[in-house]
Structure 1
């Protein structure tokens, strides 16, 4: 496409639930604006969006797809965002850099609730947004009923901008509620004006009145006109729409069928006419500028097979040039993106979203400037989501283990909602994310991009063990003779339990030098080493050990001999202390729509959870927060069940809280399964 004269920019995110048709909507926009000559389809795997192999394999968006186009002298950059809740971090990171968002949804009242978290984020950040009700040819509900259902999940009033014209079950056109002009759709062409359908006069009048009354809540002059039954001028209505949308006071609602391009052109015209400019966005975000040095922010990081690292950035101030030094790093290329296609440019002006090459060490969310080192102040970034699902991973090829740290680092740069750890107790490498599909996509990337195939299994629960009973004067003697100097150490230990959370305590009460001072550290080392693997096979905690007596040999004793003697004493004494299994307990806060609260509490108790209480969320209308203790052993599939129970919108935050004894029957099963220790009928060795 030939480059056109551009007078301004608009950056628009396309967001909405999974399967609402966002990628098809983007394809339609690019087609009607001439950016592409032929539309692709999800089924044929040839769309501009969803161009990553992981997306095409699953026929779903798994990362931000960017595409630019020109329309009526304005350059639009569209960010097609994933709809699955497992990839919400991608969407939130992108939204902080746009001027407006189009929320694409289906005309199905039962699925409206899935929009609640998205509306909440948009309103918290005061991001202007419009709604496009897609797939109107499959509508099972009346348009106004759908509109009113949408209002129940939005803290901002939804304002109808159009009213549908149907013919039987088919959508054939719409009425513009500003001009009251009726239009009929035509495949491959703009909608044509048609005479106003008289049979819809009453319904259209009700919808238009609703629109005007919502606008009048923020415009006293319009309110006076309505009270005096004066027809407001169209220019005034448009100006109100522009002002109130730009301030995120209202949410205009459009409709159509993206697959047929129906309704896409009117929405584009509204974005031109009513969506805020980059300058307006700058003020809304409260970004104060000094001078004209470039200021930008990273919205997304990619690692491409050919070009290496790409950072998608929003330019807030100044002109960004190829080769500019940002935060001390020289940019290696400047590009506009069309899916995976990169078009090189020499500069990007304030208000544009472009990709910058090879910004090593710079991460998603970072603020960029041409000042040496870091910018004076960081721009706000989207909150990091708590990981809620984990898999233990191992490299399929042993030689690949050295690549794990580097590959995981790049993986997390691309997707900050992932994290990984090498667990200190289980020694497993654990990959954390937002759900099963999220982790499978990450594993696919490891295999494809970094030639690092991984095998997976459920992570081990980091059980601990402790003791219930104290024992005194446990004897341990180590004596070894093998030519030359021998080895001799002899100790008596008291072992007793400590309160939960106190850890380990070592003392000595040696009188008369029966164990010389230089050997006592060896005793403590031996005790500590023995606690790494207790009678049940797990690390031991909350135990106090006191060295009370012993003996030594002037020639054969050594620190090493006393270490071995202490180990023997612990092996003898610990099984007599009634060892018991402990499991990690997490403190969870589960957030759910109120209609699911009772079922969520049942879900928690069904997972051995202890309900601590629940309360309404003041910042989430119609939502509750349930607080509980939940065993970590029960967390693995908890998020899967919670989402299934709450139409995908329920979520939880968690943190380790304390260790707690495992019920005897379960403890016996855990120990038997682990193969670490033998138990009697009480779950004890």
Structure 2
């Protein structure tokens, strides 16, 4: 029988939109639990979270930060996750290994929509989560209005846990809706109980009734008590909160001001009292294996200047020991992390999150076991996000070019939402990511960690060209005399267009040996070489060329001479065939809240896109899915504008679909720009 997961630990992710105050909340949690004696601040760049140089330079989270602390008899591991949508992959990868999540948001109704993708991920994975409405000292909206806005984006019913007490514009305390005890906040200390404010009795009663009614939807006994107007015991309410939160049936809501530690202790109490134990999420994932062999999963990969590679893992089963062999790789150390501080440990039990050193070849999301080779089955991992923004990159110093592939491999191990390629047509090295800031962070890491400064520019669009009409008996003769043997080749070619997507076809219809067989491959080579850059300056596609006639010299002819003759024939004939410019077209699927559907379609049509249709997005409340074709030339900053129009939540998937003729005016600009050596212009 496998070892039961330890129950004296909780793994909690802190998630939420950019600027909601997640790192400040982590700092406050560490301070009130005694893990740190003095709080840092984002402004002073001395917080436990956001310790990476790239994060501190931009005063924003760019990767998962880990912190361990103890409150009463429970060991908490907090994962502070990035809020920017450009780092969503980082957040999703970490979330699959936690027991619960605290969703931090601001009390601004208009910004609540930014929580929709996060709530959808948490609900799809059935990860218990609660909301902490931060910055209540500068609330732009009434508390109940914020709750109403949250209801619109959550598929789980909201259960308010507290009601705010204000004094003018200031937040001075709260009412606990379970105990109906009022409290006043004090900076640097726990809130003091105070007499119940009579003026809030009606509002508090309505909020409490809402809480109890939502709980009663899942508890028949509580429902009977409410119908009979029996006041339920506090112990029963707490038990319901724990059960229903652990089953991801409800969304409890808390409030406070993290920078001043207001509301942080009640939040901790709720995590202590109501958050599910580690075995709850293990059972929900169906992780029930025979034996006691350790089973773990990588949530995040770091490359540190001091210790090299570190893999942050969730232990699902068994006991991991320092020096254990996982997937055939010997672990080089076992650590608990708090910011950049590493504390060595000898073992980690099921339910804990620890870092393992030097697991070479092991990637984020991988399942680990002590079985030789790979584990028998892989644990589910977060879906890989489609890269949507690209830059062409090159080493600033030519001597550094040999370092690019190795550095990129490590970069992508740390951040799997990055990708890179050497484009087959443009020969550019292209770095793909989730947005401009995302790629700028990656470039900073290349410079800082791997001493690899890069230069960048927008990627070239891989335009092609083709022809509209055929040309017959195009003549090409190459004759060169330089003393001794000369060079002679003579060919006649038929050129005709093919249907889109057919590529290139070469044939020959030589009769009577007018072109000897040994020279025909040279003709095909000459044609292919010319097609690499046609009359408009781009590779030529969807063309058929047939060798129909020619002549040769018994002494001076050679395969090389016939190659040159073929090039001359193509150079003469292709401009007669009305060459046209083609551009790659992407099939794109945009996901957006319904309120922004019309704007998203206008954005598409304004960029020469062709809307194919739209429909309700399956599984997404009040969201639409728009299908369209979009020229790749128009995709360069499309994600930036889409996010701007949709409060940062709109996203899209895409794939190359086909080549399409470029409109004449656009084609003229592209050809002229390419002739001038600037192929990045549209």
Task: Give, in whole Å, the separation in 2 of the partners of 1:624 and 1:254.
Answer: 31
Q: Is it true that 1:269 corresponds to 2:231 in the alignment?
A: no
Deviation of 1:484 (Å): 3.3
Q: Contact 2:7–2:278 (CA<8 Å) still a contact in 1?
A: no
Q: Within 5 Å, give how 1:178-189 maps onto structure 2.
A: 178-189=178-189
Deviation of 1:7 (Å): 6.1
Task: Give, in whole Å, the separation in 1 of the partners of 2:141 and 2:516.
Answer: 87
Q: Within 5 Å, give how 1:297-312 maps onto structure 2.
A: 297-312=297-312
* Structure-1 residue corresponding to 2:584: 584
Q: Contact 1:535–1:677 (CA<8 Å) still a contact in 2?
A: no
Task: Give, in whole Å, the separation in 1 of the partners of 2:347 and 2:244.
Answer: 33
* Structure-2 residue corresponding to 1:667: 667
**Can you give the 5+ residue segments of structure 2 that lack an aligned partner in the other structure?**
1-5
Count of aligned pairs: 673
Q: Within 5 Å, give how 1:520-559 maps onto structure 2.
A: 520-559=520-559
* Structure-1 residue corresponding to 2:398: 398
Deviation of 1:8 (Å): 0.9
Deviations 1:423-447 (A, max 9, x none): 1111111111111100000000000
Deviations 1:345-404 (A, max 9, x none): 111111111111001111000000011111011100000111111111111111111111
* Structure-2 residue corresponding to 1:380: 380
Deviation of 1:641 (Å): 0.6
Q: Contact 2:593–2:623 (CA<8 Å) still a contact in 1?
A: yes
* Structure-1 residue corresponding to 2:121: 121
- Identify which range, 17-26 or 663-672, moves more after superposition: 663-672
Task: Give, in whole Å, the separation in 2 of the partners of 1:371 and 1:532.
Answer: 52
State TM-score, norm by structure 2.
Answer: 0.97
Task: Give, in whole Å, the separation in 2 of the partners of 1:152 and 1:197.
Answer: 30
Task: Give, in whole Å, the separation in 2 of the partners of 1:600 and 1:141.
Answer: 28
Q: Contact 1:464–1:583 (CA<8 Å) still a contact in 2?
A: yes
Residues 645 and 427 of structure 1, relative CA distance in 2, 3 Å threshold: same
Deviation of 1:221 (Å): 1.4
Task: Give, in whole Å, the separation in 2 of the partners of 1:546 and 1:7.
Answer: 76
Residues 42 and 442 of structure 1, relative CA distance in 2, 3 Å threshold: same
* Structure-1 residue corresponding to 2:63: 63
Q: Contact 1:159–1:214 (CA<8 Å) still a contact in 2?
A: yes
Instruction: Give the ranges of 4+ consecutive aligned residues of structure 1 lying more than 3 Å apart after TM superposition.
Output: none
Task: Give, in whole Å, the separation in 1 of the partners of 2:525 and 2:549.
Answer: 17
Deviation of 1:101 (Å): 0.1
Task: Give, in whole Å, the separation in 2 of the partners of 1:141 and 1:59.
Answer: 26
Q: Within 5 Å, give how 1:356-505 maps onto structure 2.
A: 356-505=356-505
Task: Give, in whole Å, the separation in 2 of the partners of 1:486 and 1:367.
Answer: 67
**What SS does structure 2 have at the residue aligned with 1:56?**
helix
Task: Give, in whole Å, the separation in 2 of the partners of 1:471 and 1:354.
Answer: 70
* Structure-2 residue corresponding to 1:3: none
Q: Is it true that 1:146 corresponds to 2:153 in the alignment?
A: no
Deviation of 1:675 (Å): 1.1
Deviation of 1:80 (Å): 0.2
- Identify which range, 406-415 or 512-521, moves more after superposition: 512-521
* Structure-2 residue corresponding to 1:174: 174
Q: Contact 1:536–1:676 (CA<8 Å) still a contact in 2?
A: no
**What SS does structure 2 have at the residue aligned with 1:26?**
helix
Q: Contact 2:393–2:457 (CA<8 Å) still a contact in 1?
A: yes
**What SS does structure 2 have at the residue aligned with 1:459?**
coil
Q: Is it true that 1:655 corresponds to 2:660 in the alignment?
A: no
**What SS does structure 1 have at the residue aligned with 2:501?**
coil
Task: Give, in whole Å, the separation in 1 of the partners of 2:219 and 2:547.
Answer: 82
**What SS does structure 1 have at the residue aligned with 2:293?**
coil
Q: Contact 1:538–1:676 (CA<8 Å) still a contact in 2?
A: no
Task: Give, in whole Å, the separation in 1 of the partners of 2:71 and 2:425.
Answer: 58
Deviation of 1:481 (Å): 2.6
Task: Give, in whole Å, the separation in 2 of the partners of 1:114 and 1:676.
Answer: 44
* Structure-2 residue corresponding to 1:633: 633
Deviation of 1:521 (Å): 1.5
* Structure-1 residue corresponding to 2:254: 254
**What SS does structure 2 have at the residue aligned with 1:361?**
coil
**Can you give the 5+ residue segments of structure 1 that lack an aligned partner in the other structure?**
1-5, 679-685
Task: Give, in whole Å, the separation in 2 of the partners of 1:592 and 1:204.
Answer: 36
Deviation of 1:677 (Å): 9.9
**What SS does structure 1 have at the residue aligned with 2:618?**
coil
Q: Within 5 Å, give how 1:82-161 maps onto structure 2.
A: 82-161=82-161
* Structure-1 residue corresponding to 2:205: 205
Q: Within 5 Å, give how 1:286-325 maps onto structure 2.
A: 286-325=286-325
Deviation of 1:676 (Å): 6.9
Task: Give, in whole Å, the separation in 1 of the partners of 2:403 and 2:496.
Answer: 45
**What SS does structure 2 have at the residue aligned with 1:266?**
helix
Task: Give, in whole Å, the separation in 1 of the partners of 2:32 and 2:289.
Answer: 37
* Structure-2 residue corresponding to 1:347: 347
Q: Contact 1:671–1:677 (CA<8 Å) still a contact in 2?
A: no
Task: Give, in whole Å, the separation in 2 of the partners of 1:454 and 1:231.
Answer: 67
Task: Give, in whole Å, the separation in 2 of the partners of 1:370 and 1:138.
Answer: 52
Q: Contact 2:469–2:577 (CA<8 Å) still a contact in 1?
A: yes
Deviations 1:606-638 (A, max 9, x none): 111111111111210100111111111111111
Deviation of 1:22 (Å): 0.3
Deviation of 1:35 (Å): 0.3
> Alpha carbon RMSD of aligned pairs, Å?
1.2
Q: Contact 1:537–1:676 (CA<8 Å) still a contact in 2?
A: no
**What SS does structure 1 have at the residue aligned with 2:153?**
coil
Deviation of 1:44 (Å): 0.4
* Structure-2 residue corresponding to 1:54: 54
Task: Give, in whole Å, the separation in 1 of the partners of 2:318 and 2:491.
Answer: 75
**What SS does structure 2 have at the residue aligned with 1:152?**
helix
Task: Give, in whole Å, the separation in 2 of the partners of 1:498 and 1:644.
Answer: 42
* Structure-1 residue corresponding to 2:26: 26
* Structure-1 residue corresponding to 2:512: 512
- Identify which range, 668-677 or 577-586, moves more after superposition: 668-677
Task: Give, in whole Å, the separation in 2 of the partners of 1:177 and 1:573.
Answer: 84
